[in-house]
Amino acid sequence: MFNELSLGAQTGADMYDIIIIGAGITGCFIAREMSRYQCKIAVVDAENDVANGATMANSAIVHAGYDPEEGSLKARFNVRGSRMYEEICRELGTEYIRTSAYVAACSAEEVEKLEELYQNAVRRGIPVAYVSTEEARKEEPALSDHVVKVMELPTTAIIYPWETATALMEEAVINGCDLFLANKVTSIIKDNGGYQVKTNRQMFVGKLVINAAGVYADQIYQMAAGKKIFTIKARKGEYYVLDRSDNPLVKRVIYPIPSASGKGVLAVPTTHGNVLLGPNSVFTDDKEGNDTTREGLDYVRNQLMKTLRVFPANKVIRSFAGLRASGEQHDFIIEESDVCEGFFNVACIESPGLASAPAIAEYVVNELILPKYPWSVKESFKRREPLLRVNKMTPEEQNELVRMNPAYGRIVCRCEQVTEAEIVEAIRRPVGATTVKGVKKRVRPGMGRCQGGFCEPLVVEILARELGITPQEVLLDSEKSLLLTGETKEVGGEQG
Amino acid sequence: MNEYDVIVIGGGSAGIAAAVECYKNGCEKVIILERDKELGGILLQCIHNGFGLHMFQEELSGPAYAQRWIEELGKYEIAYKVNTMVTHVNVDAHIAEDAAKAKSEADKIVEYVNQAEGYVRIRGKAVILAMGCRERTRGAIGIPGYRPSGIWSAGTAQRYLNMEGYMVGKRIFILGSGDIGLIMARRMTLEGARVLGVAELMPYSNGLSRNIKQCLEDFDIPLYLSHTVTKILGKDRVSGIELSEVDDNMQPIPGTEIYFEADTLLLSVGLIPENNLSEEAGVILHPKTGGAVVDEAKQTNIPGIFACGNVLHVHDLVDFVSKEGQEAGRNAARYLRGELKSEKGFVTKAGSGIGYVMPQKVNADNMEETVEFMFRVSQPCQNVSVSVYRGDTCIKKVNKRVLLPAEMEKVKLDKTLLQSAEGDLEIRIESRGVIG
């Protein structure tokens, strides 16, 4: 079907059928879908872990699809994606909780807008109902007195995006996909029937390229096309995280009425009993500029006071910011390039990107790739073994585990009750953690109220042992994020 | 299910002292559950001097102070388990309904886990909470900026340095003048790092005066009062911090920003009693101390559950932690003998100028010959008197030259004096010479 790739053969570069640039949620979904077929796939990402860009920092919601503009790709893929997630998470053995959501209107004007959203939902076949404010307040006592009308979207769900992305990539990898992290793409050259993708570390040659590079997808496309065809701007969203509680501030997602800049500032329960409060929406020129700001966090706090009665400042354990990949046309770009054959853009995946990702992958694979490049299905598709959820087991099951592996009896993270065995497992699995943050994303030590104050030295020790490196070589996250600067009495720092 | 007279949660200075004291007072089956690999708690990473002046009239290092207590513990048949994490504390409601039955039948259920035994449940007639405290984090105080490596609470950096043998940085800035921060400023300097400065949000230091002198002044480390870190720079590793002056409302003043090229930011911005287990058990916490609301016996709202040390309220000196542990231990033994009653009593209140008073209530029938009240002032004051009232009657007045929030104060009152008037007990700061 293809010509031999001349330059690849000459340079000894790794040869692939498909190179996916970007190991965020979209890249992971596409990799896992394509790994069902008899093609050789490489996933390349500049970051030192999967799910480290927009997938790292977002609201973690599978929106029902009530608010994207009629006729948009966002509306189409969100509605479809929201219907796919539950089964996918069951297959993967990852968190999926259908929490439901309230959309809360606070003025006559907003009530009108709410009715439009209601009609949207009905038209799209999304379950929706108005609930009385009395009932809503009974269910969600944190709702403010400003709220005058409430619409419920019962199919709204939450997931644990890092776990979902990692699990997807894990299935891709056990089905033959190769993952290359810390590989920043520096050039893409169209070669005889394919592409040479050069990174800071090595060269890949692929017949097809899928550009799922998040905020950098415009630059990646420019490398291949030779000119800038679309532009992506980073749009920052800042959040507060509240401490875990058996009785969290909200049980459902609480949406305000959306505005031109997005869904607005939300209150979101998480799969592990925390609550996220955010985001704001601010364009930034720096595509790495995910710093939090006083202004941004103050804005979140002020906006929340519209829909919520209180801002529980004493429950805040962390704040963070993420960057959305915003395109000028306000919609996703999902198409094969018309100037570079075999180069597929999956770009501008801002909200509702997480909710849409499975449907985007389904579309890219079944409607864009396979009709033109008909790889046949592999005979078998291997499933991942879900992580054990030790703290959800019965005491008998827990004790059986400890008997077989005593490391299940050593709790390393007291806030989130994570055992040493779970951390070791997170490191040893395919797509295993190699950094402190990687461990935290997979099994949660450091996510709790002490923010790693007690467990970080222990996690560093376990990482060093498992990876066969010294504690000084252990990274927080990126390759430049060393934690320890030396051994005692050999610091060699400045004096005076 | 194994049964104990007293289950002590935490094998640090409070827990060891409590266990020893309840054993000495007649409790036979006592067990300490400790999460770390050895007894001693946070003392083991405090290798500086200054411990034991009150308890042993000697100046010891943290590990040496802990060793004294571990040796003391070794003299008695007190069980302890290390590498053992307590996961739940509950009260068996069926038994607890009948107070007399509760004391004889062990109505407290403690679940722990360790590698040798797995998940185990034991019963105790009394439980002593001695879990210590944790450090306040960057997230809790909301410093904006990036989230690179190079940001630690001072205690975590202390653990890396003193227990694991690693340095966390070369150019250090410290936010917060709490004692651990001050101690770490000196420690990092002695290890060859450059400590660029210590900033304190308040107009006064939050550490002990002796630490300001010995850890900062002696090493020419500048202390920036009424300043805070307003931005963390550096995407991978800390590359610097922005420091701003704050106004009277502790809000940063625009235009006062100064920058420090630092690779590390240590935080010493407060300690929080570690009460997750207590809360789960139904123990009521005090909003100011973050620890349990207790009576003079250090007993919480749940009969037979006691609290002592930093899990009850954050102390400055370990000697008083041990002493509080002893009190809790002695009273747990009294509880088992049926000597603690709670029919009559009075509450204590923090009056003007006082941050909190501990204990929060006193049971008139239980009082020993003297009752000690601990308190902190809410701001520094000079040449004042500390007045203790019951109702409208001033029962005690002590003149003080200097009082600092960083230094815990105590007033010891005789039982007879306490009984000399009626009503709530209130401690107030009054200007000297003013008649209450």
Q: Which residues of B touch A319 (CB under 8 A)?
A: 139, 142, 144
- What amino acid is encoded at A226 in this protein? G
Residue of B nearest to A494 (CA): B194
Token duo for residue B91:
């009260």
**B140 contacts A476? CB cut-off 8 A:** no
Domains and CATH numbers, chain B: 3-133+272-340 (3.50.50.60), 137-269 (3.50.50.60), 362-431 (2.60.40)
pLDDT at A10: 52
Pairing of strands B305-307, B118-129: parallel
> A1-96+159-231+328-386, superfamily in CATH?
FAD/NAD(P)-binding domain (3.50.50.60)
ipTM of the complex: 0.94
pLDDT at A3: 45
Q: Which residues of A touch B171 (CB under 8 A)?
A: 493-494
Structurally, at CATH architecture level, domain A390-469 sits in Orthogonal Bundle (1.10)
In this prediction, residue B116 has a pLDDT band, given cuts at 50, 70 and 90, of: very high
In this prediction, residue B124 has a pLDDT band, given cuts at 50, 70 and 90, of: very high
Active-site residue, A272 included? no
Give the one of B164, B171, B191 whose C-beta lies nearest to A489's C-beta: B191
Structurally, at CATH architecture level, domain A101-154+233-323 sits in 2-Layer Sandwich (3.30)
**A491 contacts B193? CB cut-off 8 A:** yes
Q: Which of B85, B147, B158, B195 best tests the A interface by mutation, with the highest count of A CBs <10 A?
A: B147
Indicate the domain borders of chain A: 1-96+159-231+328-386, 101-154+233-323, 390-469
Q: CB–CB of A316/B142 below 8 Å?
A: yes
Cα(A493)–Cα(B263) distance, integer angstroms: 11
pLDDT at B337: 94
Q: Report the 3 state secondary structure along A311-380.
A: CCHHHEEEEEEEEEEEECCCCCEEEECCCCCCEEEEECCCCCHHHHHHHHHHHHHHHHHCCCCCCCECCC
Token duo for residue A417:
């009750």
In this prediction, residue B100 has a pLDDT band, given cuts at 50, 70 and 90, of: confident
Compute the half-sphere exposure of residue A328: CA atoms within 13 Å on the CB side of its CA. 4
Q: What is the pTM of this model?
A: 0.94
**B114 contacts A492? CB cut-off 8 A:** no
pLDDT in tens, B197-242: 999 999 998 888 889 999 999 999 999 999 999 999 999 999 999 9
CA dihedral defined by A365, A12, A382, A389, rounded to 10 degrees?
-100
pLDDT in tens, B311-336: 999 999 999 999 999 999 999 999 99
Q: With CA atoms as reference, report the closest residue to B251 among B231, B268, B226.
A: B226
Q: CB–CB of A323/A287 below 8 Å?
A: yes
Percent of chain B with pLDDT over 70: 99
pLDDT at A1: 41
pLDDT in tens, B13-62: 999 999 999 999 999 999 999 999 999 999 999 999 999 999 999 999 99
pLDDT at B94: 82
Q: Which of B33, B42, B137, B220 best tests the A interface by mutation, with the highest count of A CBs <10 A?
A: B137
**B113 contacts A411? CB cut-off 8 A:** yes
DSSP code, position B44 = G
**A484 contacts B156? CB cut-off 8 A:** no
Give the three-state DSSP class for B398. strand
**A477 contacts B236? CB cut-off 8 A:** yes
Range 28-57 of B in CB contact (< 8 A) with A: 35
Cα(A345)–Cα(A159) distance, integer angstroms: 26
pLDDT in tens, B364-381: 888 889 999 999 999 999
Q: Which residues of A touch B153 (CB under 8 A)?
A: 453
Q: Which of A56, A276, A292, A487 best tests the B interface by mutation, with the highest count of B CBs <10 A?
A: A292
Q: CB–CB of A80/A359 below 8 Å?
A: yes
pLDDT greater than 80 at residue B343: no
pLDDT greater than 90 at residue B403: yes
- Tell whether omega for the bond before B303 is within 30 degrees of 0, i.e. cis: no
Give the one of A401, A403, A491 whose C-beta lies nearest to B191's C-beta: A491
In tens digits, chain A (496 residues) has pLDDT values of 444 444 445 556 789 999 999 999 999 999 999 999 999 999 999 999 999 999 999 999 999 999 999 999 999 999 999 999 999 999 999 999 999 999 999 999 999 999 999 999 999 999 999 999 999 999 999 999 999 999 999 999 999 999 999 999 999 999 999 999 999 999 999 988 899 999 999 999 999 999 999 999 999 999 999 999 999 999 999 999 999 988 899 999 999 999 877 889 999 999 999 999 999 999 999 999 999 999 999 999 999 999 999 999 999 999 999 999 999 999 999 999 999 999 999 999 999 999 999 999 999 999 999 999 999 999 999 999 999 988 788 989 999 999 999 999 999 999 999 999 999 999 999 999 999 999 999 999 999 999 999 999 999 999 999 999 999 999 999 999 999 999 987 545 444 3
Q: Name residue A318's beta-bridge partners.
A: A241
Angle at Cα A32 formed by Cα A125 and Cα A7, nearest 5°?
130
User: How would DSSP label each residue in A61-119?
Assistant: EE--S-SSPTTSHHHHHHHHHHHHHHHHHHHHT--EE---EEEEE-SHHHHHHHHHHHH
Active site residue: A63, A146, A272, A330, which one?
A: A63
pLDDT at A496: 39
pLDDT in tens, A440-465: 999 999 999 999 999 999 999 999 99
**B119 contacts A409? CB cut-off 8 A:** yes
